[in-house]
Structure 1
Amino acid sequence: MQVSEYNMKILIILPNWLGDAVMATPAIELLASHYQNVRFTFVGSYVSTEALKYHPLCERAIVDDTKKAPSRLVATYKLAKELGRFDMAVSFRNQIHSSLLLRFTGTVVCCARASWHSRLLLSHTPKIRTNQHLVEQYTQIAMINIHNFNEEVPPLRLYIEPKKFDKPTLGINAGATYGSAKRWYPERFAQVAAFYKDRYDIIIFGGPNEVEMAKEIEDNLTALHVKNFKNLAGKTNIQELCANIGGCSLFITNDSGPMHVAAAYQVPTVAIFGPTKYKETSQWKNKKSIIVRHELDCSPCMKRECPLKHHDCMKGITASEVIEAVKKLEI
């Protein structure tokens, strides 16, 4: 079934994680370009809706709290009836309650990745190869209703205005919400930052659960006689986090949500990868991005903690390697 090209109301179920939500933005931009007079309703986690609600075509952004309800099934049904029917609905989450939410709205054209529940409940359920970048996977879900779609997928896009700093600024992001296996070491982040202290002011980023790690970087910088830094870990909301990252001149980070935020603003970035699949979650179309990683027999294991207890995929990466990677960016 072909949907109308006029006055399109599209429901988007966003991924839960910040980075995944940012990686869904090219698909959203393609939907906006293919249908006239589009109005989006975004439903998702607090972090994903906070990051994307500034889109100029966003009519509503709703946090999905149904999992907190005594009966998630009943809460999902009530949310669907509150949302009402759409011309089209797209879920970037591969989860049964997301499929149910789309079905309960009464929307005819519903697109989601193929699974037993999506095939049972929804109209368009493409089988998506997982050995390709997540941006491409999301795009194939969203554009399944476009016949012979073969356009170039655009870069990531956020509509939060980047902050303007008085001096060139280096952002350090040592956190990674997924788990400890993805995290390089605070003292090594500090060594890299100290090396560039004369060229950049330094900002330490981190979420509410990463305050202790950020404090460790702060203590190491102090021990290295670095004074021109600011620790924002746990002190910013999502809008402020994106704005501050967007204003950086250089970003050094683990594989994380803030890494993808930096890509959306085309901030020159060195990304440190350990146990994750860099071909699927690396920065998408950032013109100045370098990955630092070591090829090991045990990687990528995709584990939250190192199952072999040695963490060699991260432990083997030195501060000097990251410094040399920065030099290759030719900033």
Structure 2
Amino acid sequence: MAEFKRILVTKLRHHGDVLLTSPIFTTLRRYYPDAQIDVVVYAETADMLTLHPAIDNVLVIDRKWKNLGVWQHLKKELGLIRHIKNQHYDLLIHLTESMRGFWFAQLGKIPMGVTFENNNRKNLFFWCKKFQKQVKRIHLRHTVECHLDTLRALGIQPAIEERRLILIAGDSAEKGIKDKLYAAGWQNQPYVVVHPTSRWMFKCWNTKDVAAVMEYLNSQGKTVVLSAAPAEEEMKMVKELRTIVKTPFLDLSGTMSLKELSALIQHAEMLFGVDSVPMHIAAAMQTPVVALFGPTGDKEWGPWMVKSEIVTSHNHPCRPCGQAGCANSHICDCLVHLPKSQVIEAINTIQVRQ
């Protein structure tokens, strides 16, 4: 097995995708305790990995650079590449198939590269020269294990415990979320988090059914904390819930940072939600989770190494289709017609398992 002194990992995707890379760093740190281990992510996803004990530096690409104009944008990009070159990395693990990884390797003069197979690039000489090891994605393999396959290709075998997700909220987020809970009327009682929204709203369940579940949880003596991102579509659903739900709940939707949301979920008895980043946060925090899946694949994206109940339709063999709703209509029959009774049964089951 090769010895590496400086390692760069890239994951230029969304929040949940980035969090699912966290076991890579834990494993790398065991094999290379004295190495410099850095990561490049989009700026808005950085909080998924900051404070990770195995990561030395989180480098960011800010999508807002594009708003600076061509020359300023180019200056920012070249500045990052210059920084990468100056670090003298000897290994690049590029966890997407974008060309940006090639430029990091080429201009940053990184001698060894690992990435995933890409049919559009596998015959390109310059691509293969920079990425000597290309890993095939296995159908129905969880994304965490796919990420770890890039290490296996190097002869690095992750231990079972190293495969757990790692997310550190931090002291500031801990204090911030307590302050917000107290301001909302919390009195230190246990609570469950309901996060019914996603940046892709076609993944979400019917508002009236979410309201019914919130009322059911209340009837079971649970304090419900509602959360959502401040995005317009998510807050529209929250507004409807405020109108429909007839029982008390604490509403923190649209008010939290990612780290504060992580702290909120960390101390919850349970999370109820959909296939979205809070579900992965719950897995990292070892908070039991009930998650609804429609068109996306629960085998690849389900809650990882945590007590969980996944709820899917029994009447739609077409799922998971991977589309943005049926025929990309943004309406998913497999979610629209998902029975409320099936969801409540899953909630009861997870509570018994606790």
Relative to the length of structure 1, the TM-score reads: 0.88
Residues 57 and 156 of structure 1, relative CA distance in 2, 3 Å threshold = closer
Alignment partner for residue 102 of structure 1, among 91, 99, 105?
Answer: 105
Q: Cα distance, 1:130 vs. partner?
A: 3.6
For 2:3, the equivalent position in structure 1 comes to: 3
Cα distance in 2 between the residues matched to 1:119 and 1:253: 41
Note the alpha carbon deviations across 1:307-329, whole angstroms, 9 max, x for none: 17562200121222211111111
5+ long unaligned stretches in structure 1? none
1:259 match: secondary structure: helix
Alignment partner for residue 313 of structure 2, among 280, 294, 297?
Answer: 294
Q: Cα distance, 1:151 vs. partner?
A: 4.2
Q: Contact 2:111–2:130 at 8 Å: present in 1 too?
A: no
Q: Cα distance, 1:220 vs. partner?
A: 1.8
2:303 is equivalent to residue 283 of structure 1: yes
2:25 is equivalent to residue 32 of structure 1: no
Q: Contact 2:202–2:324 at 8 Å: present in 1 too?
A: yes
Q: Contact 1:14–1:48 at 8 Å: present in 2 too?
A: no
For 1:214, the equivalent position in structure 2 comes to: 238
1:139 match: secondary structure: helix
Q: Cα distance, 1:74 vs. partner?
A: 7.1
Relative to the length of structure 2, the TM-score reads: 0.83
Q: How many pairs align?
A: 321
Alignment partner for residue 196 of structure 1, among 190, 206, 217?
Answer: 217
Cα distance in 2 between the residues matched to 1:265 and 1:175: 19
Alignment partner for residue 142 of structure 1, among 151, 158, 163?
Answer: 151
Q: Cα distance, 1:75 vs. partner?
A: 5.2
Q: Contact 1:14–1:92 at 8 Å: present in 2 too?
A: yes
User: How many percent of aligned residue pairs carry the same amino acid?
Assistant: 24
For 2:183, the equivalent position in structure 1 comes to: none
5+ long unaligned stretches in structure 2? 179-185
Cα distance in 2 between the residues matched to 1:19 and 1:237: 15
Residues 98 and 65 of structure 1, relative CA distance in 2, 3 Å threshold = farther
Residues 131 and 196 of structure 1, relative CA distance in 2, 3 Å threshold = closer
Cα distance in 1 between the residues matched to 2:150 and 2:163: 15
For 1:265, the equivalent position in structure 2 comes to: 285
Cα distance in 2 between the residues matched to 1:315 and 1:122: 44
1:252 match: secondary structure: strand
For 1:328, the equivalent position in structure 2 comes to: 349
For 1:44, the equivalent position in structure 2 comes to: 41
1:94 match: secondary structure: coil
2:116 match: secondary structure: coil
Q: Contact 1:42–1:60 at 8 Å: present in 2 too?
A: yes
| Two-structure CA RMSD over aligned residues (Å) | 2.4
Q: Contact 2:105–2:113 at 8 Å: present in 1 too?
A: yes
Residues 142 and 191 of structure 1, relative CA distance in 2, 3 Å threshold = same
Of the structure 1 ranges 318-327 and 249-258, higher mean CA displacement relative to structure 2 is found in 318-327
Q: Cα distance, 1:257 vs. partner?
A: 0.9
Residues 50 and 245 of structure 1, relative CA distance in 2, 3 Å threshold = same
For 2:182, the equivalent position in structure 1 comes to: none
Residues 174 and 41 of structure 1, relative CA distance in 2, 3 Å threshold = same
The letter for the 2-side match of 1:258 is: P
For 1:176, the equivalent position in structure 2 comes to: 198
2:105 match: secondary structure: helix
Cα distance in 1 between the residues matched to 2:168 and 2:6: 20
